[in-house]
Chains A and B, each alone.
Chain A
């Protein structure tokens, strides 16, 4: 402790006689004061709510009649006896797969397209990014109209290629994929920008050297772009997977309300339904904890297995 004050910022106490230094130095005092507003917020809205959530998850409670203590009942019911939970979980994984993979591939392609010095390119980049900033609620309404089976633009467009009219959101086989397609379109701007950051940090000399060695475009991509982009790829993968595993509420709520059948029930929608449609608050709280654990495991595994294979040379 005594040495700590001498390094870094020169603390006011250092100018005073060392023996008179109280425990509560001015620096410590400042530290506490500066962190307090944020810490209070954190303690109430994160720590307290987490604890409270854990307690509620052992209850049977509708907020109107007194709660009953049920121990692990909610957890066992959810994991063992709730077929809709399994469906919602499967749908969420499917939605994640359908959004993350195409979203990343298309994002990377788009980033490579806009990684040029053409005049006015920033205007195009801004245009491609715009869908990101529009609220999902607004986008979902627009896409309901585009997907309209009778008068929708999508059916008209596909009709030009001789395809039949299709009820995109109304058929169990395509409803989830249609929602996924919307989120891919929505998040393309994010992924593009991330990959653009990655691309622009690759030194141009590497490409020139490769060109002199006679490497073709594909060769250059495989031996330079791809390996040097892996940290960014990993980052985009982790963030979009976490986002997708928690997501899928706004669009489902506005476009399908979970239907047809259970085909677009996602975890977030079913959890919402349990809490605010069936008023099983305890059950929904337990559901949330199960999700927390799953997301934690997924994140951990990704770091564990993928991070080893990543080239961290740039940064």
Chain B
């Protein structure tokens, strides 16, 4: 390499390094914008009261006041709320997957009279705003005697019209040859569904699971109306109780928020790929 070439190379390299550094700086600034509120939440949750009511705000607590957390943990059944939310979301998501995948199979692969009409009815239901079913839903739960029961949170949420639609589109895209071969070998429809369709659709099922997780985990108004007992609360309703009881006790409120964020964060980090895939798939089929 001649020295001129070398200089040129160095200049190019440093320019691209500089570009990269600028890129990362911009990305980090944006990340601060996205995550800043959460970091601030963590910081506030560990502050003493006199460090909260100061202006300009103090970036970090001078000593970590863990007692905000212990106080919260003793005063409210936080663990119970997390458990409630978790088991409700697991049952609801499993139920959603079951109902959506079986129906999607019936729509995608089986021919039966009325199939298209039922499918159109499902598609129409996608347009119904939740407000329409709110009041009759409350009345129905009253008739069932499910008010203040977790059944009221699980059973009505099992239906997942959009998930059914997603899975149907996915099943339609699967090659039929495998199924046909299995059918020739004498496998019944159930066997084909369980041994061929479902294993091939893991990614799509994961997408339905992730979208279902978000809708059930974040549900607020419905559980707010349905559940009365504090120990049956889900996490969002519990947070609302905190909010109305400690409206100005910011360190305790923020500690509650941090505790509520942890499970979401765990699920998100574990299934991050599927979240993104979910959106991709929604966009493709939608």
Contacts and interface: CB of A to CB of B under 8 A. Distances in A.
**Is B one of A's binding partners?**
yes
Contacts of A113: 26-27, 30
Interface in A136-174: 136-139, 141-146, 148, 150-153, 156, 159
B143 to A, nearest CB: 10
Contacts of A44: 140
B268 to A, nearest CB: 5
Given A8-B176, A39-B118, A113-B26, A194 B102 contact: no
A264 to B, nearest CB: 16
Interface stretch (A23-31, A95-103, A212-220): A23-31
A118 B16 CA distance: 12
Interface in B172-218: 176, 179-180, 183-184, 188-190, 193, 214, 217-218
Interface stretch (A77-85, A122-130, A305-313): A122-130
Interface string A274-314: 01100001001101110110011001000000000000000
B227 interface: no
B83 interface: no
Nearest to A135: B218
Contacts of A153: 40, 57
Nearest to B131: A288
B183 A9 contact: yes
A213 B158 CA distance: 55
A130 B37 contact: no
B55 A134 contact: no
A118 B34 contact: no
**Residues of A in contact with B, size category:** 35 or more
B239 to A, nearest CB: 5
B68 interface: no
B34 A127 contact: yes
B20 interface: yes
B37 A292 contact: no
A138 B261 contact: yes
A275 B134 contact: yes
A143 B36 CA distance: 11
B74 interface: no
A110 interface: yes
Interface in A38-90: 38-39, 41-42, 44-50, 52-53, 56, 63
Contact of A288 (B35, B135, B217, B268): B135
A188 interface: yes
Contacts of B242: 141
A2 interface: no
B283 A194 contact: yes
Contacts of B131: 246, 267-268, 271, 287-288, 291-292
B236 to A, nearest CB: 4
A292 B129 contact: yes
Nearest to A251: B220
Contacts of A125: 276
B25 to A, nearest CB: 12
Contacts of A136: 218, 220, 236
Contacts of A285: 132, 135-136
Contacts of A132: 214, 275
A28 B115 CA distance: 10
A190 B211 CA distance: 12
A137 B56 contact: no
B31 A38 contact: no
A235 interface: yes
B254 A145 contact: yes
Nearest to B281: A197
B159 A42 contact: yes
A110 B184 CA distance: 51
Nearest to A239: B286
Contacts of B100: 38
Contacts of A30: 106, 110, 188-190
B91 interface: no
Interface string B54-91: 11110000000000000000000000000000000000
Interface in B108-136: 109-113, 115, 118, 121-122, 125, 127-136
B283 A198 contact: yes
Most B CB atoms within 10 A — which of A110, A134, A276, A291?
A134
B103 A35 contact: yes
A170 B47 CA distance: 25
A205 interface: no
14 contacts: A31-B106, A37-B99, A48-B140, A126-B268, A135-B220, A145-B254, A146-B40, A148-B250, A189-B34, A235-B283, A272-B221, A276-B225, A292-B127, A292-B132
The 7 closest A-B pairs by CB, nearest first: A31-B112, A38-B103, A31-B110, A34-B106, A52-B136, A30-B189, A288-B131
